Amino acid sequence: MLRKSLLVLAIAASGQFAMAQQKPLTTNTGAPVGNNQNSKTAGENGPVLLEDVHLIEKLASFDRERIPERVVHARGAGAYGEFESYGDFSQFTKASLFNGKGKKTPLFIRFSTVVHEQGSPETLRDPRGFAVKFYTDQGNYDLVGNNLPVFFIRDAIKFPDMVHSFKPSPIYNKQDQERVFDFLSHQPESTNMLTYLYSNLGTPASYREMDGFGVHAFKWVNAQGEVTYVKYNWKSLQGVRSLTAAEASQVQAKDHTHATTDLYEQIGKGNFPSWELTVQMMKPEDLDKFDFNPLDPTKIWPESVAPSIKIGKMTLNRVPGNFFEEVEQSAFSPATLVPGIEPSEDRLLQGRVFSYFDTQRYRLGANFQRIEVNAPKVEVNSNNQNGAFSNRGKNSNINYEPSVTKQGTYVDSKQHEYATRKIDAETMQRAISKQNNFAQAGELYRSLSEADKKHLISNLAGDLGQIRNKVIVHKMVSHFYQADADYGTRLMKALKLNKNDVMALVASK
């Protein structure tokens, strides 16, 4: 009933309910359908005829309704809205969406869970995706982040391994905490993210009541080519509300689609959710002034180091009219950039810049950027061509550049060139020098209330207690102990561990 009510709400919200009852049924080529109830047969009791082209088309289309599921972020919901800039930030970036007070930019957002499959409960402990597509007057810009400010790993070379460990066992086809923590016990930098995830922030009450974070540092570049490193933060104006583990179980028993239900119902009622976008800024010459690497995605930038500046507000005001076409086919990538915004040297981000586009081409095809929800609102004039479902409408003989005809020649190239940076380095495969894996996790733990600390310990102990291999458990608890002695000691007591086994690992670091 909930799924049906959501569908009716979505259709009604888009103003298509009455029209859908009036349009005659046609084939995919537009021919009117004479009979949609009975197949064409050789006599009343004879076999069905292959020449019933409507039947064959209907079955063939049905057979191909599913596209490959996203490897991560498979379960999600989306909505349309707009972003309003609070001021002119052109002294920092050429990106036009931030360069005029009151300037409005249409957008599409997709919220999601990360690890679990389509149709999975939206109550599960998991990071939440927070991906925004701005339809700017310079082309599309995707700000692809999560509801938690840091991540598990710092290098993209570990991303496939991480996801493999989180996904169901290839033997038993179910998620196994022993596999998850076996991997994470070898990634001490994950301690900070795990502390966020196993707090109640890991189970948001709704998509509306959670913050969003770009996680990575990005580069803002102004017209003079000057670079400022930034981190993005979305602050929910509805406030942040989370569920305890017990509350999440109660909600899941009633509606495993609770977050989608809440988002669409609130928009349908005119209670448009909104977030303020803030940025933290850092100059290139300041990157080496701290005891951590500011380009490390397992770290936050403390407000004392880089105060947040409000730059605009996002408001969601419209539900998609077709979930598959507009939400399932929506495609995001941190490589979808506009002049004035560039990737930082963050190793995880550098891998994502390749991987996201690559997975969308596999999932949706070479022309995924021509699907309406992904298409920019400005004219596209590239020399890329053809591929499955091409609808570029090119009618020029010149599909290359340069040409004496001057067709497709880039103009004002200096204004849109990438920022320059001097590099004098040898190639290498080496970990970053300022890892500082535990300090911020300890600071986060100490900032929690006593009630939140108890929930964190209970949530972690619940999953760690399922693990049979105690070497994995001891390694994980040693990481939490190094973040904060009270943190680790409480976990030892909750798991009934021998303190000497854990402390031996701590001493060996």
Q: Which residues are catalytic?
A: 73, 146
| Ramachandran angles phi, psi of 296, nearest 5° | -85, 115
Q: Are 332 and 95 in contact (CB under 8 A)?
A: no
Closest CA to 235 of 298, 311, 154: 311
* DSSP for residue 302: -
The DSSP H or E segment spanning 183 is helix 177-184
Number of other residues whose CB lies within 10 A of the CB of residue 432: 14
Closest CA to 130 of 73, 82, 83, 84: 73
Number of other residues whose CB lies within 10 A of the CB of residue 22: 6
Query: How far is 340 from 362, CA to CA, in rounded Å?
Result: 29
Closest CA to 132 of 206, 78, 94, 85: 78
For 333-382, give the DSSP string. Answer: -TT---TTEEE-S-HHHHHHHHHHHHHHHHHH-TTGGGSTTTS-SSPP--
CA atoms within 13 A on the CB side of 200: 20
Burial class (CB in 10 A: 0-12, 13-18, 19+), 365: middle
| Ramachandran angles phi, psi of 334, nearest 5° | -65, -5
Instruction: Tell whether 356 is in a known binding site.
Output: yes
Query: How far is 392 from 381, CA to CA, in rounded Å?
Result: 9
- Cα distances from 419 to residues 74, 223, 299, 350, 499, in angstroms, run 35, 10, 25, 16, 52
Query: How far is 213 from 211, CA to CA, in rounded Å?
Result: 7
- Cα distances from 448 to residues 200, 267, 362, 405, in angstroms, run 11, 33, 43, 65
Annotated binding site for heme: which residue ranges?
356
Annotated binding site: which residue ranges?
356
